[in-house]
Amino acid sequence: MKQSSTRMSASAAISICWGIKLVAILVLIVASHAALAAPAEKQVVLTGADRRAATSLNGDWASIVDPYFSGLYSFHHEEKTNGWFLNQKPKPGDSFPIEYDFAKAPKLKVPGDWNTQRDSLFYYEGPMWYERDFTYQPKQHTRTFLHVGAANYRSWFWVNGKKVCEHEGGYTAFNCDITSAVQSGANFVVAAVDNTRREDNVPTLETDWWNYGGLTREISLIELPEQFIDQYDLHLSRTEDSLIEGWVHVTDAQPGTKVEVEIPELAAKTSAIVAENGRAAIHFSVKGLERWSPETPKLYQVTLRSGSDSIEDQMGFRTVEVRGTQILLNGKPVFLRGIAIHAEAPYRTGRAYSDKDAETLLGWAKELGCNYVRLAHYPHDETMLRAADHMGLLVWSENPVYWALQFDNPKVFAKAEQQLDEEIGTLRNHASIILWSMANETPNTAARTQFIETLASHARELDSSRLITAALLVRADGHTKIVDDPLGKALDVIGVNEYIGWYEQHPETADVTDWRIDYQKPVIVSEFGGDAKAGLHGGENDRWTEEYQANIYRHQLGMLNRIQQLRGMSPWILMDFRSPNRPLQGIQDEFNRKGLISDQGQKKQAFYVLQKAYKEKTVGKPE
Ligand code: GCU
């Protein structure tokens, strides 16, 4: 018996040993995962980031093309510990070859896509490394953020070799907390940006625009107090005249933290205490407020304060709502005389990012007679929204849920929701924005409808002061266009894209087309048009000529006037833009030529057809 018990104790001992080993291994795995997954980095969404004092990091950055991403991943596909983010310098006697040197690498301008900066990068899709040095003096009780206006499509950032953040999404701003990584004196920042298209990206593999990669919008350093105002929302109440309501959020706020909001020009000031959720609820009546509108784009300096933090924003106050099939701006029906715009830079082409780009594009829209623009198909740079606020243009801003995403993939939903959070969180106080668009031309499937309905209700939770829309595909039964996409139930305003005269039959078909709209809601025709090469002339039935494009517009405008609940339109598109889908040699040359203006600023005949209709208000129900 003894023996068996001895055997028992031996085998018991062995199994206890294995048990301990197993527990140890489990602990190790959990710990290492925790270490990897631990958010070594923190990033925040900042409302009005462009109103903060900032140290610009724009300019020449060293760049290294890295198609196999060997600077970040070992051939086992693990993240390297000695990646190029260390910015090491090859030196004599190295025990291991350092096979990169930012100091000797060619430069890329930031902001700016890489495709239009170097012929060898025109079609490049893959990882790119950026590096620049900067000197800095950290301040006591101050947090330092690396502000990234946009990086298309995935990006990773290190400061002095320490990972500070990682981001996915090519068109929204984010801010990485680099306080623990930045040092006094000399510093360096390394970024990796990968514009590889993937099926589970947002947008997905195929788009009808160029996949401009890189640090495509401005980069800067922003210093904030340890407790600061990260987001705020101030808007005019729809029900009580001259009542400004909303909230101001303070990060890491101590209980009892006070927030103050002041509009000096109106001699108006209010204060509130931050609640448990970090938000101070704001509502105060103001006298003599001049409402913002396209006719009177009145902006006020609004100062927000909390503790040692303060921010001065420029804000307009207006209301927008739907009543039946009307869109009401400041309580009055409005017709949106618009045009669609891609963020393609006039003249130089490439990703638009500057004040000059915004002034040129929106200046053309004003010249066209617009009171409204559809900024497609992704959130544009904040310079566009600032310009729209100042120039008096209403805006449709769009989340890049474009065509056939993986609507049944929860990870893809999370990406779309994250980008919507960043878009609304950053841009929410621009009076010009009246519509948040959830999507463009998505297939009518149950998974798609569920996906976007959920996004729409999330958008309403984030911002109850604006309208929710999307550009829907429209089916046809003979010469009847039928708007019955189930997604329409989730929208305040129905956007519809149609191409009668270009992708559908002939320009004259519009004369015999009628519409069946299964929703008693306002409708915006969010796209129509056709291609024309500027300077190519012929008969009005000769495709690709200016005359043909103008003919489409003339027949379209007659049809649009017969849509009873039409409340706006944004023909496709203001300016020709680059797209890999458009090779037709001698005509398109990798540009979508539906612009009313060429990428070199040449106005086509259709520009004047639409301009006449807008100036004489012969299209759209009179306001
Ligand atoms: C689609 C799509 C646009 C595209 C346009 C076109 O409607 O929404 O992104 O550029 O048609 O085919 O020109």
Query: What is the position in ligand 1's atom list of the atom closest to the CA of 594?
Result: 13
Query: Given this model, what pLDDT does residue 91 score?
Result: 87
Which atom number of ligand 1 is nearest to the Cα of residue 497? 7
Q: How many CB atoms lie within 10 A of CB 131?
A: 22
Tell me whether residue 562 is in a domain.
yes
Q: Is the pLDDT of residue 37 over 50?
A: no
Residues 496 and 400 in one domain: yes
∠ CA 402-403-404, nearest 5°, is 120
Q: Which residue has the tokens 């991943």?
A: 73
Domain of 550, CATH number, reads 3.20.20.80
Q: What are phi and psi of 127, to 5 degrees?
A: -80, 145
The CA 244 to ligand 1 mean position distance, Å, reads: 39
Residue 329 included in any domain: no
Q: Are 273 and 299 part of one and the same domain?
A: yes
H/E element, 417: helix 410-427
Shared domain for 288 and 392, answered yes or no, is: no
Q: What confidence tier does 5 reach under pLDDT thresholds 50, 70, 90?
A: very low
Distance, CA 580 to ligand 1 centroid (Å)?
Answer: 13
Is residue 314 in a domain?
yes
Confidence of residue 431 (pLDDT cuts 50, 70, 90): very high
Based on the domain organization, do 507 and 608 belong to the same domain? yes
pLDDT tens digit sequence for 545-561:
999 999 999 999 999 99
What's the rounded Cα separation, in Å, for the pair 137 and 132? 17
Q: How far is CA 100 from CA 71, 72, 108, 213, in A?
A: 9, 12, 16, 21
Q: Residue 22's pLDDT is what? A: 53
Which residue, by CA, sits nearest to atom 4 of ligand 1? Answer: 208
pLDDT-derived band at 4, boundaries 50, 70, 90: very low
Q: Is residue 122 part of a domain?
A: yes
Residue 257 lies in a domain: yes
Query: How does residue 19 score in pLDDT terms, banded at 50, 70 and 90?
Result: low
Q: What is the pLDDT of residues 226-249, one digit of tens each?
A: 999 999 999 999 999 999 999 999
246 burial level (CB within 10 Å; 0-12, 13-18, 19+): buried
Look at residue 27 in the predicted model and tell me its pLDDT: 47
- Which ligand 1 atom is nearest residue 441's CA? 8
- Atom of ligand 1 minimally distant from the CA of 529: 13
Give the pLDDT mean for 407-433: 98
In angstroms, the first-to-last Cα distance of the chain is 101
State the average pLDDT over residues 50-58.
Answer: 97
**pLDDT value for 273:** 98
Domain-located, residue 326: no
* Distance in Å, CA 497 to ligand 1 centroid: 8
Same domain for 135 and 270, yes or no, is: no
User: Interior CA angle at 322 toward 331 and 236, to 5°?
Assistant: 50
Amino acid at 614: Y
**What single-letter amino acid sits at 200?**
D
Q: Which atom of ligand 1 is nearest to the CA of 377?
A: 9
Q: What pLDDT does residue 18 have?
A: 52
Residue 602: band (very low, low, confident or very high) from pLDDT cuts 50, 70, 90: very high
Closest ligand 1 atom to Cα of 440? 8
Nearest-CA residue for ligand 1 atom 10 is 208
Å from CA of 207 to ligand 1 middle: 9
Question: What CATH number is given to the structural domain containing 210?
Answer: 2.60.120.260
Answer with the residue of higher pLDDT: 13 or 596.
596
CA of 209 to the centre of ligand 1 (A): 9
Mean pLDDT of 27-44: 51
Query: Which atom number of ligand 1 is nearest to the Cα of residue 503?
Result: 12
Task: Compute the average pLDDT of residues 199-226.
Answer: 98
Is it the case that residue 426 has pLDDT exceeding 80? yes
pTM reported for the whole predicted model: 0.93
Which range marks the domain in which residue 33 is found?
Answer: 9-38
Q: How many domains in the chain?
A: 4
Q: Is the peptide bond before 153 cis (omega within 30 degrees of 0)?
A: yes
Pick the last residue of a domain from 192, 225, 258.
225
Say if residue 261's pLDDT is above 50: yes
**How remote is the CA of residue 441 from the centroid of ligand 1, in Å?**
9
Predicted local distance difference test score (pLDDT) of residue 39: 41
Place 98 in a pLDDT band, splitting at 50, 70 and 90. Answer: very high
Within a domain: 610: yes
267 and 370 in a single domain? The answer is no
Distance 512 CA to ligand 1 centre (A): 23
Shortest CA distance to 109 belongs to which of 351, 343, 342, 346? 351
CA pair distance 50, 509, nearest whole angstrom: 47
Counting ligand 1 atoms within 8 A of each CB, the residue from 544, 572, 582, 593 with the most, and so the one to mutate, is 572
Pocket test for ligand 1, best of 207, 592, 593, 596 (most atoms within 8 A of CB): 592
- Ligand 1 centre to CA of 377 (Å) is 10
Is the CB of residue 146 less than 8 Å from the CB of residue 157? Answer: yes
Q: How confident is the model at residue 6 (pLDDT cuts 50, 70, 90)?
A: very low
Per-residue model confidence (pLDDT) at position 16: 54
Q: How far is the CA of 561 from the centre of ligand 1 (A)?
A: 23
- Residue by residue, DSSP assigns 117-148 as T-GGGTT--SEEEEEEEEEE---TTEEEEEEE
At residue 208, what are phi and psi to the nearest 5 degrees?
-100, 55
Q: Which atom of ligand 1 is nearest to the CA of 579?
A: 10
On whether both 300 and 430 belong to a single domain, the answer is no
The SS3 assignment for 312 reads: strand
Whether residues 542 and 455 share a domain: the answer is: yes
Residue having the nearest C-alpha atom to atom 9 of ligand 1: 208
Mean pLDDT of 396-423: 98
Please tell me whether residues 565 and 480 are part of one structural domain.
Answer: yes
> Above 80 in pLDDT, residue 606?
yes
- What average pLDDT does range 360-380 have in this prediction? 98
Phi-psi region of 430 (alpha: psi -120 to 50; beta: other; left: phi over 0): beta
Average pLDDT over every residue of 57-71 = 98
Q: Is the pLDDT of residue 34 over 80?
A: no
Rg, the chain, Cα only: 27
Q: Which atom of ligand 1 is nearest to the CA of 592?
A: 13
From 318, 347, 371, give the residue that closes a domain.
318
Average pLDDT, the chain: 94
Instruction: Kindly list the protein residues whose Cβ atom lies closer than 6 A to any atom of ligand 1.
Output: 208, 377, 440-441, 497, 527, 572, 592, 594
Contacts of 428 (CB under 8 A, 6+ apart): 47, 231, 233, 462, 463
Question: Is there a single domain that holds both residue 378 and residue 287?
Answer: no
Q: Looking at residue 304, what is its pLDDT? A: 98
Could you tell me the CATH number of the domain that includes residue 266? 2.60.40.10
The answer on 538 and 391 residing in a single domain is yes
Ligand 1: residue whose CA is nearest its atom 12: 208
- Rounded Cα–Cα distance for residues 82 and 410 (Å): 33
Note the maximum CA span of the chain. Answer: 108
Ligand 1 atom at minimum distance from 376 CA: 9
Q: How far is the CA of 594 from the centre of ligand 1 (A)?
A: 9
Co-location of 60 and 14 in the same domain: no
Interval 514-540: pLDDT, tens: 999 999 999 999 999 999 999 999 999
Is it the case that residue 35 has pLDDT exceeding 50? no
CA of 349 to the centre of ligand 1 (A): 19
Q: How confident is the model at residue 76 (pLDDT cuts 50, 70, 90)?
A: confident
Residue whose CB lies within 8 A of the most ligand 1 atoms, among 441, 528, 578, 591, for a mutation test: 441
What is the number of the ligand 1 atom nearest to the C-alpha of 207?
Answer: 9
- The predicted-structure confidence for 470-482, as pLDDT tens digits, reads as follows 999 999 999 999 9
Query: How many residues would you count in the chain?
Result: 623
CA atoms within 13 A on the CB side of 613: 23
Instruction: Give residue 440 CA to ligand 1 midpoint distance, Å.
Output: 9
Predicted pLDDT at 90: 86
Ligand 1 centre and the CA of 208: distance in Å? 6
- Per-residue pLDDT at 7: 41
pLDDT score for 181: 97
Half-sphere exposure for 496 (CA within 13 Å, toward CB):
29
Please tell me the distance between residue 529's alpha carbon and the centre of ligand 1 in angstroms: 10
Residue 608 within any structural domain of the chain:
yes
Q: Quick one: pLDDT at residue 623?
A: 53
